[in-house]
Structure 1
Amino acid sequence: MQTVGVRELKNKLSEYLRRVRLGERVLVTDRGEVVAEFLPPGQGPGDPSVPAGLQSLNKRGLLTLGAPAGTDLYPALPRKQGERRRSVAQLLDEERGSR
């Protein structure tokens, strides 16, 4: 683990980023107080919404976490012309009624 002051980090940013890329952890200090920590991707505390057990498996390469849900990843499917909107309950009733 390397410790570096803000001024030196600013002057040698490329060098410290190269170290982080190689797996080294860099602590940034301002007047002797640690104010930031640079870690290689995937070595941080992770997403708080993901259980710790899954994060651990992901770090060990045994699991790949999916992307968060969003409208960009999962766009709405277009409705057929003239199709009316129905609730999930209505769709289930129709499906179960046809059995």
Structure 2
Amino acid sequence: MKIAAVSKLKAYLSEYLNQVKAGNEVLITDRGKPVARLVPILRMKTTGESMTRLEKQGLIKLGSGKLPKDFWSMPRPEDPNGLVLKALLEERETGR
């Protein structure tokens, strides 16, 4: 793990970001005390893997062909109680 003072990080940000992109972590210090850590974002290897994981959890059902030509002109399913909107807002609020 690399260690960088705030002043050095500001001067060489691009270099430190390249280190993080390469998978390394950078500990940021202010007057010698740790204040933050730059870490790479964990990513799924492929979209397919994440979709398969969601399907195994029962959260989605993968499609098995092309959409019908009139798909976008079809009426939307009804949701008179607004349950879909409530679920969406809850998901956004909780960060799931």
Shorter-chain TM-score: what band?
0.3 to 0.5
Normalization by structure 2: what TM-score?
A: 0.47
Higher helix share: 2
Normalization by structure 1: what TM-score?
A: 0.46
Question: Quick check: which has more Rg, 1 or 2?
Answer: 1
